[in-house]
A = this chain, B = another copy of it.
């Protein structure tokens, strides 16, 4: 189905919807929830990628679970220390939609570092134990099938798929929308990871204009807010980063007093 007006185009494909509008650029909507817009997607994609990558001393082998638009692959592949990017996405249609309507994100699929698998992240990780330095879960919100990606059993799988000094980073929701849910995800993570933290960023097109990340590290007492790797101005320029800097990395861990009291 296709609907067209002066500044609005909607393409519907089964449970997928693609909306193009003028204010927020081109927006991808899945299962009725806005996943990303071309106007501000860089904030989300850069932060979910470089927060964990720059908290690891040698992030050679990276796994992305989900991320069918290609934006996270685009960012992860930029990192000079990353050698292999493995991505497992369950829904091939999202990838095809992105290639057609979001070339600036789907370019992530063109990286020679990328090995893409269409399949279930749970099954994939069971077959790949002790393999990855960093695992990034770029999922939709915990409604429907994505719910399992926020639970303890998923964090157990993540831990098993990691190498001993591994780090995970997942889309963790916003405390403005549902503080209790974010806290539950942090607790699921804490059951399997020694150091756990929540970082956040602004994404105007998301509800509340805000989104966060749950980060887990197998090493105890790690100060995740201080990046191990600090990009030079030349590196930031070469990587065409729009949002992420070392200052932004550290600032992302500062939480409002009421949230800090609730989480930690």
CB interface residues, A 233-251, toward B, < 8 Å: 236, 241-245, 247-248, 250-251
Cα–Cα, bound, A242→B210 (Å): 18
CB neighbours (8 Å) of A257 from chain B are 236, 241-245, 248
Q: This chain: how many copies in the complex?
A: 2
The answer to the question of A260 belonging to the interface, with a C-beta cut-off of 8 Å to chain B, is: yes
Give every chain B residue within 8 A of A258 (Cβ-Cβ): 242-243
Residue on B nearest A201 in the bound complex, by CB: B256
For the complex, what is the distance from the CA of A253 to the CA of B210, rounded to whole Å?
17
One digit per residue, 1 when the CB lies within 8 angstroms of any chain B CB and 0 when it does not, for chain A 200-221 equals: 0010101111100000000000
Write out the residue numbers on chain B whose beta carbons fall within 8 Å of the beta carbon of A209: 176, 202, 204, 206, 208-210
A252 to B256 CA separation, bound complex (whole angstroms): 11
Cβ contacts under 8 Å, A255 to chain B: 247-248
A43 at the interface (CB under 8 A from B): yes
A residues near B, CB below 8 A?
Answer: 40, 43, 176, 202, 204, 206-210, 236, 241-245, 247-248, 250-258, 260
